[in-house]
Chains A and B, each alone.
Chain A
């Protein structure tokens, strides 16, 4: 997910805004509210940057997890093929051993050789298969590790979202206060104008 970097909700600082902010000087509560608005604007931008980075990290670890899953599948496939090859060759040699035994009427070098070859093929297949199974297991472990990292990243994103929502409420409160002050000032001005009139 990409959140546009320069898509600011709050418009850029304008002269009239600075003047309006300076107009509140003298009243501590209003000054605090104005400062709060400035702070919230900065922290919101910071929050958005952090969210963007966290999203990138999350996307990276999730892609890595999926990649490790595929790697595990490939290793398992290879392990199965190696094991199958050993068994097929071993089985064929066992049959050949039986045929050699039947042909000669007694145990010969051929029948013994076939028998030994069968066991060797079985063992070789198992050996190669276990190597691939080891890699598959490691890929599975890495995939789980990335999954946990993705979970952490998601929790951080949730925290950032909460912080964003909190700062928004804070800004709204500050604005409400300034509006009330402004309304009170306007009412006073109006009363003064009427009284002078």
Chain B
């Protein structure tokens, strides 16, 4: 049997991307070139052609698998880059510098704020306790056991920490820390002014880091502090009540009465019981009426308090608007990154399926080739044996 030469690598197409296979699919395999001796009989010639065809086909499969693997490596690198970008973005969003004052005296301020919060809460609770006890007495006047139980509950609530305490605590801590950081910044500013004036350097470089820390301190302690806004809102309400009283106008008692009615509703929810599903409309009406009656103040101090509160409120709204835009951008960027990652993952899965199919195809071709070679060997052996028998018969 004639020896079979290795196939020429130039006869195969190496795709750079697997999509190219659709347009560059080699049709019938090119006829193999005979290197060396050409077999004389037709059977050997046919077997040789078959074997070369099989080899070329296998070579093509190997090239395609290699190309797909290269594509896979490239996609995996791309995925790693995308994941790194997502991680960097997550780290960047968490990074926030604290001011020097907040860092150094943070725990002391928290402790002081707790005391202030407790004090405010105690005052608030003692007033509330008297009202609650009076209500309990009225409700359970004839039932001694129920009265005792109700009074015990009212007293137990006094020892528990409540929303007011937490809000005052958060407000105090945030404000004190921020004011401390402002003082620290002023100190650094004076020192830097003196130093840079002596050296003649730019002041901006020295203060850039401190200014950034101060801004982050403002964000953490004031702007992003919900307790600050809760207390500011209460101050605004208090100013409105005081303003109505101080105005001495005819509407003052009405305004105070309306605000007290609202406060009583906050505490006991009697509007829900009285007006059922219309309670929220009544509540809105009371709020509007109270605001309208409290608006006509003439007291200067309270007026300036209202102005200051509206200025702070407006500034807070602007700040939260900017933050809302930033947050929306951050969310949108995150979803965009998810889409990128998803797309790359799909491409990887697609390439993986392509590789599996190509390997499957390679196995089939290899199986077919083995079977073909075995058949050829058997055929040639049978032919030889028949020829030998014919010679013997002679």
Contact present for B346 and A9 (CB under 8 Å): no
Find the B residue at minimum CB distance from A78. B328
Interface 1/0 per residue, A114-132 and B, CB below 8 Å: 0000100010000000000
Contact of A76 with B335 in the complex, beta carbons under 8 Å: yes
Q: Which of B357, B365, B385 has the most CB of A within 10 A?
A: B357
- Residues A73 and B354 in contact, CB atoms below 8 Å apart: no
Per the bound structure, the CA–CA distance linking A161 and B298 in Å amounts to 85
**Of the residues B25, B53, B298, contact of A4 by C-beta under 8 Å:** B25
Most chain A CB within 10 A, of B25, B329, B332, B361, is at B332
Judging by beta carbons under 8 Å apart, are B321 and A94 in contact? Answer: no
A94 touches B310 (CB 8 A): yes
B331 at the binding interface (Cβ < 8 Å):
yes
CA distance A59 to B343 in the complex (A): 10
Which single residue of chain A is at the shortest CB-CB distance from B333? A73
Contact of A94 among B313, B339, B361, B386 (CB under 8 A): B313
Cβ-neighbour of A88 out of B318, B332, B361 (below 8 A) = B318
* Pairwise interchain contact A4-B327, C-beta atoms closer than 8 A: no
Quote the shortest CB–CB distance from A147 to chain B (angstroms): 9
Known interface pairs A91-B314, A98-B314; A80-B365 also in contact (CB < 8 Å): no
Q: Is the CB of B5 closer than 8 A to any CB of chain A?
A: no
In chain B between 330 and 351, which residues have their CB closer than 8 angstroms to a CB of chain A? 331-333, 335-336, 338-339, 342-343, 346, 350-351
Once A2-B19, A193-B386 are accepted as A-B contacts, the answer to whether A92 and B325 lie under 8 Å apart by CB is no
Q: Is the CB of A102 within 8 A of B371?
A: no
A55 contacts which chain B residues (CB < 8 A)?
350, 353
Q: B97 on the interface (CB 8 Å rule)?
A: no
The answer to whether A84 touches B324 (Cβ under 8 A) is: yes
Chain B residues with CB under 8 Å of A5's CB are 25
Residues of B within 8 A of A101 (CB): 303, 306-307, 310
Chain B count of residues within 8 A CB distance of the other chain: 64
- Does A95 lie within 8 Å of B311, measured CB to CB? yes
Residues of A within 8 A of B321 (CB): 83-88, 90-91
Is the beta-carbon distance between B18 and A194 smaller than 8 angstroms? no
In the complex, the answer to whether B335 meets A69 with C-beta atoms within 8 Å is yes
Cβ of A33 under 8 Å from chain B: no
Closest to A77 in B: B332
Chain A residues 37 to 65 lying within 8 A of chain B, measured CB to CB, are 51, 55, 59, 62, 65
Q: What total count of A-B pairs have CB within 8 Å?
A: 160
Chain B residues with Cβ under 8 A from A51's Cβ?
357
The reply to whether B364 and A9 contact each other, CB–CB distance below 8 Å, is yes
- Contact status A84-B328, CB under 8 Å: yes
By the criterion CB–CB under 8 Å, are A80 and B339 in contact? no
Of residues 287 to 326 in B, which have CB atoms within 8 Å of A's CB atoms? 295-296, 298, 303-304, 306-311, 313-322, 324-325
**What chain B residues lie within 8 Å of A73 (beta carbons)?**
331-333, 335-336, 339
Assess whether A76 is in contact with B328, with CB atoms less than 8 Å apart: yes
For the complex formed, measure the closest distance between the CB of B365 and the CB atoms of chain A, giving whole angstroms. 6
B residues 127-156 touching A (CB-CB < 8 Å) = none
Q: A24 at interface (Cβ–Cβ under 8 A)?
A: no
CA distance A175 to B357 in the complex (A): 23
B93 at the interface (CB under 8 A from A): no
1/0 contact string of A144-159 vs chain B (CB within 8 Å): 0000000000000100
Given A2-B21, A101-B307, A194-B389 in contact, is the A80-B329 Cβ separation under 8 Å?
A: yes
B360 in contact (CB, < 8 A): yes
With A6-B27, A94-B317 as known contacts, state yes or no: A102 contacts B307, CB within 8 Å: yes
List 6 tightest A-B contacts by C-beta distance, closest first: A80-B328, A87-B321, A91-B317, A94-B314, A84-B325, A95-B314
Residues of chain B having any CB pair with chain A under 8 Å? 18-19, 21-22, 25, 27, 50, 53, 295-296, 298, 303-304, 306-311, 313-322, 324-325, 327-329, 331-333, 335-336, 338-339, 342-343, 346, 350-351, 353-354, 357, 360-361, 364-365, 367-368, 371, 375, 378, 382, 385-386, 389, 392-393
Q: Interface residues, chain A, CB within 8 Å of chain B?
A: 1-7, 9-11, 51, 55, 59, 62, 65-66, 69-70, 72-74, 76-77, 79-81, 83-88, 90-99, 101-102, 105-107, 118, 122, 157, 164, 168, 172, 175, 179, 183, 186, 190, 193-194, 196-197
19 contacts between A and B (CB under 8 A): A1-B18, A1-B350, A7-B25, A7-B361, A62-B343, A77-B332, A79-B328, A80-B325, A83-B325, A84-B324, A90-B321, A91-B318, A94-B310, A94-B311, A98-B314, A102-B303, A107-B295, A118-B317, A183-B378
